[in-house]
Amino acid sequence: MCLPSRPVSKTHSFSSSSSTIATRMINCILLFAFIFLVYLLISASRLQSKNSIHAYFSSSDQDQSKSLTKINHIVFGLGSSTNSWPARREYVKLWWDAQKMRGCVFVDHPLSSSENHTDSDLLPPICISQDTSRFRYTWRGGDRNAIRIARCVLETVRLFNASSEEVRWYVFGDDDTIFIPENLARTLSKYDHTSWYYIGSNSETYQQNSIFGHDMAFGGGGFALSSSLANVLARNFDSCIERYPHLYGGDSRVHVCVLELGVQLSREPGFHQFDVRGNALGILTSHSTRPMVSLHHMAHIDPIFPNSTTFSAVSHLFSAVELDPLRIFQLSVCYDRWYSWTISVSWGYTVQIDSRHLLLPVVLRTQETFRPWGQSGYTFNTREIHSDPCQRPVTFYMQHVSSSRHNGTIESVYTQAYENCTYDPITSPRKIQEIRVYSKRLDLDIRQLKAPRRQCCDILPTSSTGGKVMEIGLRECKENELIYMHP
């Protein structure tokens, strides 16, 4: 303590005592100054620490923004042929953006001058595949073009790995693979392109997976290779495919060569092989909460909208994709308490109303409106549909989608598909002629992409339409909100 002590001897002089007291006072002042200095240093350190933390989170936010994969980070390699390209190029035009995208369509022989130059500014460049006659192909009854298609991986990487623009991902598909580019880019944003990733999905049918592999990315649905993996794969690809002449397709060859590098498939359910026939409504209306990335085999299923050709139906779908790509086919379920209806909104495609309350797990099961290739079952849960169309849910198909310039609200309008059915004009959902769905553009960050959550819907009050129009709002569910059948 800085207190003068009592004198120990009465013989000390007054001047000696004063000197001692002065010295101790100086020491006290110095001690207090030292303590104050330490305090200032600690405070400054804490302030700097807080600033550093703030800077850390700010930089983390910036890094996350920078880490989002853009479409110009992706290079596409599409397998085609001189026979198939003229008929399928129109589908590629629906999703290809020549101003933003890079890639190549690989064909077996040069195209005629008219085919090569027609609308070439709206399509990927045409590349002639290298000769593959030196490789053996022993699948009986198969098509040795599979080797040429497999080598699209090697040839695409060689064309673009020295590009001055950054390449994060190489994405491959067939000429009838329809990609939704923004959804593809967002999906790949979840992954670090500097690590080795092989991303895609398998077939919807058990038989196809049993033959070709449950852990293989089917090429028709498309697959992605991180640039780091693709460059290593390209260096070893030819020596690898020489070991597998007995395989059927190009995607099988890519799969085994990736396996030889010790990499397995990272499944993303947004890639769709579509090994089905007939009406694909059941698959599309039960899509995963993950973004829809690709569609395949559209020419082998019924047009997805009634009274349409296959191409016009896909083109019509893209009118919704352009306004809100991440929301396309996303399913929201709500319940009408008054009529005990179950309402399912598959955004940009359909709204379905079942005239009874169904438990949510039942609603989410895929309706078997289609049939598989072959005789096998599926790789997902299904539910049978009623043999009588009048006993099935009433389906309303998307007619048009528009966005308000004033507040950004998106309105999608759905009208009822005609069925020659008798119904109760008071309680049947068939009395509704039109459904209007209101939403905001869906914009998911990486955290939401990694842990997706289904959105909620509300039936909005409408009093001036005579019960012929239903209005629905889509929104984020509240933290503790449940989607369930009301008692």
Task: Write down the pLDDT at residue 49.
Answer: 41
In whole angstroms, give the CA distance from residue 74 to residue 103. 8
Residues sharing a CB contact under 8 Å with residue 338, sequence separation 6 or more, in sequence order: none
Residue in this structure with the two tokens 């790949």, named with its chain if needed: 188
In the chain, what are the domain boundaries? 71-273, 331-475
Question: In the structure encoding, which two tokens stand for residue 134, read together?
Answer: 């030196």
406-419 mean pLDDT: 95
Crossing angle of helices 227-241 and 152-160, rounded to 10°: 130
155-159: which pairs have CB atoms within 8 A and are 24 or more residues apart?
Answer: 155/77, 155/104, 155/106, 155/127, 155/129, 155/130, 156/75, 156/76, 156/77, 156/103, 156/104, 157/230, 157/231, 157/233, 157/234, 158/234, 159/104, 159/127
pLDDT at 467 over 90: no
Largest separation between any pair of C-alpha atoms in the chain: 126
The reply to whether domains 71-273 and 331-475 share a CATH topology is: no
Lowest mean pLDDT among 36-40, 185-189, 216-220, 344-348: 36-40
Per the model's pLDDT, the better-predicted residue between 203 and 29 turns out to be 203
b/e 122-145 (16+ beta carbons within 10 angstroms → b):
ebbebbebeebeebebeeeeeeeb
Burial of 8 (0-12, 13-18, 19+ CB in 10 A): exposed
pLDDT at 380 over 50: yes
Q: How many C-beta atoms surround the C-beta of residue 12 within 10 A? A: 11
In whole angstroms, give the CA distance from residue 429 to residue 273. 34
Q: What pairs with residue 456 in β-bridges?
A: 475
Mean per-residue pLDDT of the chain = 89
Q: Please choose, from the candidates 435, 420, 296, the residue with its C-alpha nearest in 3D space to the C-alpha of residue 353.
A: 435
Which amino acid would we find at residue 168?
A: R
In whole angstroms, give the CA distance from residue 324 to residue 441. 5
In whole angstroms, give the CA distance from residue 333 to residue 363. 8
Residues sharing a CB contact under 8 Å with residue 104, sequence separation 6 or more, in sequence order: 76, 77, 78, 124, 125, 126, 127, 155, 156, 159
Per the model's pLDDT, the better-predicted residue between 115 and 43 turns out to be 115
Residues 137-184: tens digit of each pLDDT: 999 999 999 999 999 999 999 999 988 899 999 999 999 999 999 999
**Helix or strand holding residue 371 (H, E):** strand 370-372
Lowest mean pLDDT among 21-30, 175-184, 264-273, 422-431: 21-30
Rounded-to-10 torsion of CA 146, 152, 154, 155? 130
Assign 388 a pLDDT band (cuts: 50, 70, 90): very high
* 331-475, CATH topology level: Cation-dependent Mannose-6-phosphate Receptor; Chain A (2.70.130)
Residues 70-107: tens digit of each pLDDT: 999 999 999 999 999 999 999 999 999 999 999 999 99
Q: How many C-beta atoms surround the C-beta of residue 303 within 10 A? A: 18
- For 197, the 3-state DSSP assignment is coil
Asked if CATH classification 3.90.550.50 holds for the domain at 71-273, the reply, yes or no, is yes
From residue 18, alpha-carbon distances to 7, 9, 15, 45, 389 in Å are 11, 15, 5, 41, 111
> Do residues 473 and 457 lie in contact, with contact meaning Cβ atoms separated by under 8 Å?
yes
The pTM is what?
A: 0.85
Per the model's pLDDT, the better-predicted residue between 140 and 30 turns out to be 140
Residues 221-263: tens digit of each pLDDT: 999 999 999 999 999 999 999 999 999 999 999 999 999 999 9
